[in-house]
Amino acid sequence: MNQIDETLLAQIADLHGTPEGAYNIRKDSALAGRSNTKNITIETKADQSGIDIHIRPDTKYEVVHIPVIITQSGIEELVYNDFFIGENCDVSIIAGCGIHNDGHNRSQHDGIHTFHIGKNSHVRYSEKHYGQGNGGGEKIMNPQTILYLEEGASVQLDTVQIRGVDSTKRYTKVVVAKNGEAILTERLLTHGNQTAVSEMDVFLDGEGASARIISRSVAQDHSEQTFYPRMIGNAPSFGHVQCDSILMGDAKIRSIPAITANHTDAQLIHEAAIGRIAGDQITKLMTLGLTAEEAEERILSGFLK
């Protein structure tokens, strides 16, 4: 690993050196490192690019790292990662993609992650996206995350776009069975002329299923964002959609939440707000000794946490 690799891995996965436990590190469309444990096995797919991750039933408190980095300009890849998580597990999965592009060709990573989460299992999934480099080539990431939750299963999905991604099209689908729970948190920052589109479909298919979508975003300069969070209640269930955005410069944001109740006992709520930073907030921080720029950065950092 060189300095660029280390910087990318620190940004997207908080990694500083070789991770403990199971991991799979992908660099420039090739395997850069892998480790399995007694309970977690990672295997390369035989028929397409990507990996299969198998987690044995009753696995508790283990962490899996599966970051992807691209450091060569012009690489374009599509990766399929499938997760098979047994019953009664409690695990964390840390993914993420970082692109360093100093060239003039487009670098692009498209990832399709599909989760099969067994009964009564709990999964925390974190995915960060980040781009850097001084070249004129675009940095593009198009993630798809598909989750199937069995009875009593739960998932906490935390997706973050930190900075530097020129274009992204994100799609998330979650199917929640009886007494299952899904909490989806998305945090997104765009700047310059970047564009971002995020679509979510959450299906509450079992009695007692619940879900929350929490979207927070900041659009700066001339960037554009569009959100399509959709919640569908097909059983006695509860769902809440919340979208909050901060608009700066000449940026544009569209938020189009939708809720659909296909059962009389489906309780669904949606909220959406778009606005700018209040001037009194900046003024208050400036009285504490911060410059206007520092005050703005502090507010944005807190909003996107």
Question: What's the rounded Cα separation, in Å, for the pair 196 and 255?
Answer: 12
244 pLDDT above the threshold of 70: yes
pLDDT band for position 252 (cuts 50, 70, 90): very high
Residue 302, C-beta contacts closer than 8 angstroms, at least 6 positions apart: none
Is the residue at 286 inside a domain? Answer: no
SS3 content of the chain, % helix, strand, coil (to 5): 10, 55, 35
199 pLDDT above the threshold of 90: yes
pLDDT of residue 8: 96
Is the residue at 289 inside a domain? Answer: no
pLDDT of residue 249: 87
| Token pair of 93 as six digits | 């999965």
| Highest mean pLDDT: which range of 261-265, 272-276, 289-293 | 261-265
Distance of CA 62 to the CA centre of its chain: 20
Give me the number of domains the chain comprises: 1
302 pLDDT above the threshold of 80: no
Distance of CA 67 to the CA centre of its chain: 12
Is the separation of the CB atoms in 191 and 248 below 8 Å? no
pLDDT band for position 285 (cuts 50, 70, 90): low
Is the residue at 187 inside a domain? Answer: yes
pLDDT of residue 294: 74
Computed over every residue of the chain, the mean pLDDT equals: 93
State pLDDT tens for residues 26-49: 999 999 999 999 999 999 999 999
Is the residue at 246 inside a domain? Answer: yes
pLDDT of residue 279: 64
Give the bridge partners for 126, in sequence order. 94, 158
Can you give the pTM of this predicted structure? 0.92
Q: Where is pLDDT greater, at 65 or 163?
A: 65
pLDDT of residue 291: 77
Place of tokens 């769902």: 239
pLDDT of residue 88: 98
272 pLDDT above the threshold of 90: no
State pLDDT tens for residues 153-170: 999 999 999 889 999 999
Question: What's the rounded Cα separation, in Å, for the pair 197 and 258?
Answer: 16
| Token pair of 297 as six digits | 């950065």
pLDDT band for position 280 (cuts 50, 70, 90): low
Is the residue at 47 inside a domain? Answer: yes
Is the residue at 81 inside a domain? Answer: yes
Is the residue at 301 inside a domain? Answer: no
Is the residue at 285 inside a domain? Answer: no
183 pLDDT above the threshold of 90: yes
**Dihedral sign computed on CA atoms, order 109, 6, 43, 59:** negative
| Token pair of 210 as six digits | 């619940």
Question: What's the rounded Cα separation, in Å, for the pair 198 and 175?
Answer: 18
284 pLDDT above the threshold of 70: no
Question: What's the rounded Cα separation, in Å, for the pair 25 and 44?
Answer: 12
Q: Which domain holds residue 56?
A: 3-278
**Dihedral sign computed on CA atoms, order 87, 92, 97, 100:** negative
17 SS3 class: coil
pLDDT of residue 26: 97
91 pLDDT above the threshold of 80: yes
173 pLDDT above the threshold of 70: yes
Question: What's the rounded Cα separation, in Å, for the pair 65 and 208?
Answer: 32
